[in-house]
Amino acid sequence: MKKLFAEFFGTFWLVFGGCGSAIFAAGFPELGIGFVGVSLAFGLTVLTMAYAVGHISGGHFNPAVSFGLWAGGKFEAKDLLGYIIAQLIGASVAAAMLYLIVSGKEGFTDIGGFAANGYGHLSPDKYSMQSAFIAEFLLTMFFLLIILGSTNDKAPKGFAPIAIGLALTLIHLISIPITNTSVNPARSMSQAIFAGGEYLTQSWLFWVAPILGAITAGFIHKKLFDK
C-alpha cells in the first residue's frame, strides 16, 4: 500500500503542478511563464517527487513508465494493474482540484482545453494524428531509455531524478506545439475527462503511442544496454 500511495501522490503532483502551470500561469496575463515555464514545471514535478517518494515505489507516476520498466525486466507484471489504478486516481483527483480552483475565478464560464492533449484541430499548432503518434511514440521511447539508463546499477548513484526531470522538460519543449505533450496516459486521461468532447475521444492515441514507445524502449535497453 505504501507503494500505491507513493504512486498516487507522485502522479497527483505531476498533474497538479504541470497542468496547473499550463492552466494558471502559462499566459498570465502578459508576462506568463509560456511554453518554457510549463516545460520546466513538468520536469520539476517528476524531479521533486522522485526524490520524495521514488525510493518507496520506484517513482513511475505514469502507466507508460510502468509498462516500460516491465518490458525492461525491472518491474513485475503482477504489480502493473495496481500501479496504473493508483496513477489514474492520483491524476484524476489532481484534475478535479484544478477544476475546483479554475471554476472559482471571477467571470468563469468554461474550462476550455484544460491543458488536455489532442491532434488535428485540437493540436496547439494543428499537427495531424500521424504526427502526434510519431512524436508521442518516439518521445516516450527516449524518456524510458533515459529512465532505464539513469537508474541502471552501473549508473552514478543519486542523479537519476535530475536526468529524468530534465528529460521530461526537454520532451515538453519539443512537443507542446504538437500534442500539448502527453508521454503519460494518466496525465492525458485526467484532463480529457474534464475537457470532454473530442479530447476524450482522441485520448486513445495518448494511451497507445506512449505505451508502445515505452515497451519498445524496455526491450531495447534489456537487449542492448543492460549488461
Helices 34-57 and 2-14: crossing angle, nearest 10°?
Answer: 180
pLDDT per position as a tens digit, 167-198: 999 999 999 999 999 999 999 999 999 999 99
Q: Which residue has the cell 500505491?
A: 4
* The predicted structure's pLDDT at residue 29: 83
Section 152-162 average pLDDT: 94
Q: What is the pLDDT of residue 133?
A: 98
Please say whether the beta carbons of 90 and 11 come within 8 A: yes
- What's the confidence (pLDDT) of residue 132? 98
Which of 18, 12, 183 lies closest to 88 in space, CA to CA?
12
Measured CA to CA, the distance from residue 182 to residue 185 in angstroms comes to 7
215: nearest Cα among 78, 88, 64: 64
Q: What is the mean pLDDT of residues 13-26?
A: 97
Q: What is the pLDDT of residue 28?
A: 87
pLDDT of residue 202: 98
Question: Does residue 227 register a pLDDT over 80?
Answer: no
State pLDDT tens for residues 37-94: 999 999 999 999 999 999 999 999 999 999 999 999 999 999 999 999 999 999 999 9
pLDDT of residue 108: 93
Return the exposure string of 161-196: e unless at least 16 CB atoms fall within 10 Å of the residue's CB, then b. bebbbbbbbbbbbebbebbbbbbbbbbbbbbbbbbe
Give CA separation, 222 vs 125, 154, 216, in Å: 36, 14, 10
User: What structural domains does the chain harbor?
Assistant: 2-225 (1.20.1080.10)
Residue 64 is predicted with a pLDDT of 98
The packing angle between helices 185-195 and 63-71, to 10°, is: 160
The per-residue DSSP string of 64-121 comes to HHHHHHHHTTSS-GGGHHHHHHHHHHHHHHHHHHHHHHHTTSTT----TTTT----GG
- For residue 43, what is its C-alpha cell? 520536469
pLDDT at 14 over 90: yes
